[in-house]
């Protein structure tokens, strides 16, 4: 079973100190390049102490699993923690976070243009959750895939949404939060699907499932899924906030020049290779301690990753998606460039490598 594979242009990568971590992770990963037995999409996984906690949407509700490893989540008992008793509609992509000794699950519910973000909270990961509360996101537009994180002492909420009331494209937005349940101020767009490599599938054109993480220099990244989730062009890409940048200012964000984790060479960033075993990897979860971006790894070691994908040789469809275990590592001295923008059009810093 292959978990770690060589990447073109990787001569600068230091393998010492990494092999042991990779072997430890691979012992918990089943065959098929990390494919778990869980036929599902949109994994959200955190580690609390030695326990891995996941959340997923079920038929008309949300379920939590707990296990001793990411791979073992697939066979862990699923405990229903919320049911859609108010007929909110389709329940999509729940995201679990923890703050101040409480657990919060954010999810989107609705039908068509009615999708909005909701949150439930509890002192326990798999029981005792409150009734759902609609997040009062600025402008009250269609919203999915939201998550909370703290950066430089400020809570932030990032999500995928529409600019108006029609499904033209899904942008990434960010807003401040005064508490885990209270947005404040306005929303700010930080990414739109305007690059050629993220417009291979459409319409609508897609930026969605954003996940925050902090690099070894302390800079903020938002790794997101591009291209339609109904296509094997689905992939992961990166937004990197420039050093000292303002998270609300779109021109302080630099975008990777292609997919960093995908199955089609034509859309990959130069120096990044497509996947060997899966098609359309996307909607990932950095498996961090307490889900806290301050616990992201230093340069060198790999860290656990969960993502959904379809195994190569299987028709690509939503019904054929499975959760996969994988890993990621920081990749230094990487330049992102863009044209026709105010200020510098290049920025060099940390990027990421993803491993099946």
- pLDDT by residue (tens digit) across 143-193? 999 999 999 999 999 999 999 999 999 999 999 999 999 999 999 999 999
Supply φ then ψ for residue 311, to 5 degrees. Answer: -65, 140
β strands within 192-302, DSSP E: 205-214, 220-226, 235-241, 253-255, 278-286
User: Which of 12-16, 66-70, 125-129, 182-186 is least confident?
Assistant: 12-16
Q: Residue 12: is its pLDDT beyond 50?
A: no
Other Cβ atoms closer than 10 A to 316: 18
Put simply, whether the predicted model's pTM sits higher than 0.75 gets the answer yes
Chain centroid to Cα 217, Å, comes to 20
HEC string of 179-206 equals: ECCEEEEEEEEEECCCCHHHCCCCCCEE
What per-residue confidence (pLDDT) applies to 113?
96
Q: Is the pLDDT of residue 19 over 50?
A: no
Q: Whole-angstrom Cα distance, residue 84 to residue 145?
A: 18
Q: Which tokens sit at 44?
A: 């959200």
- Pair 51, 67: CB distance under 8 Å: yes
Answer for the pair 82, 112: CB distance below 8 angstroms, yes or no: no
- Tens of pLDDT, residue by residue over 239-289, are 999 999 999 999 999 999 999 999 999 999 999 999 999 999 999 999 999
Please tell me whether the peptide bond between 204 and the residue prior to it is cis, using omega within 30 degrees of 0: yes
Confidence of residue 33 (pLDDT cuts 50, 70, 90): low
As its CATH architecture, domain 19-355 has: 5 Propeller (2.115)
d(CA 63, CA 83): 9
Structural domain boundaries in the chain: 19-355
- Rounded distance, CA 128 to CA 124, Å? 7
**From residue 118, how far is each of 147, 172, 184, 281 by CA, in Å?**
11, 17, 16, 26
DSSP 8-state assignment for residue 99: E
Peptide bond between residue 203 and the one before it cis (omega within 30 degrees of 0): yes
> 208 phi and psi, to 5 degrees?
-155, 180
pLDDT at 25 over 60: no
**Residue 42, CA distances (Å) to 188, 194, 209, 223 in order:** 24, 24, 8, 14
What pLDDT sits at residue 32? 53
Letter string b/e over residues 188-197, b meaning 16 or more CB atoms within 10 A of that residue's CB: bebbbbebeb
């Amino acid at each position: 079973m292959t978990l770690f594979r060589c990447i073109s242009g990787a001569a600068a990568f230091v393998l010492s100190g990494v092999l042991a971590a990779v072997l430890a992770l691979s012992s918990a990963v089943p065959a098929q390049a990390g494919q778990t037995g869980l036929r599902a999409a949109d994994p959200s996984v955190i580690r609390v102490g030695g326990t891995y906690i996941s959340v997923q949407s079920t038929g008309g509700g949300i379920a939590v699993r707990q296990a001793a490893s990411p791979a073992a989540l697939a066979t862990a008992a699923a405990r229903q923690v919320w049911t859609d008793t108010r007929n909110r509609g389709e329940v999509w992509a729940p995201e679990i976070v923890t703050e101040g000794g409480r657990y919060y699950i954010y999810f989107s519910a609705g039908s068509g243009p009615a999708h909005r973000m909701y949150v439930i909270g509890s002192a326990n990961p798999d029981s005792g959750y409150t009734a759902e509360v609609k997040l009062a996101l600025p402008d009250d537009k269609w919203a999915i895939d939201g998550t909370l994180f703290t950066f430089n002492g400020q809570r932030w909420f990032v999500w995928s949404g529409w600019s108006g009331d029609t499904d033209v494209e899904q942008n990434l937005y960010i807003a401040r939060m005064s508490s885990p349940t209270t947005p404040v101020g306005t929303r700010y767009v930080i990414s739109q699907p305007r690059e050629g490599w993220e417009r291979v599938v459409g319409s609508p054109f897609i930026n969605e499932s954003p996940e925050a993480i902090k690099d070894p220099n302390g800079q903020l990244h938002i790794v997101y899924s591009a291209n339609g989730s109904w296509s094997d062009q689905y992939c992961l890409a990166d937004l990197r906030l420039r050093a000292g940048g303002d998270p609300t200012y779109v021109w302080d964000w630099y975008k990777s020049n292609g997919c960093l984790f995908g199955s089609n060479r034509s859309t990959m960033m130069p120096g990044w290779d497509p996947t060997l075993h899966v098609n359309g990897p996307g909607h990932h979860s950095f498996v961090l301690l307490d889900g806290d971006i301050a616990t992201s790894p230093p340069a060198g070691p790999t860290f656990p990753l969960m993502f959904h994908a379809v195994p190569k040789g299987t028709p690509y469809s939503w019904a054929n998606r499975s959760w996969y275990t994988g890993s990621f590592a920081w990749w230094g001295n990487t330049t992102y460039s863009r044209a026709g923008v105010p200020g510098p059009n290049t920025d060099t810093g940390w990027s990421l490598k993803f491993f099946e």
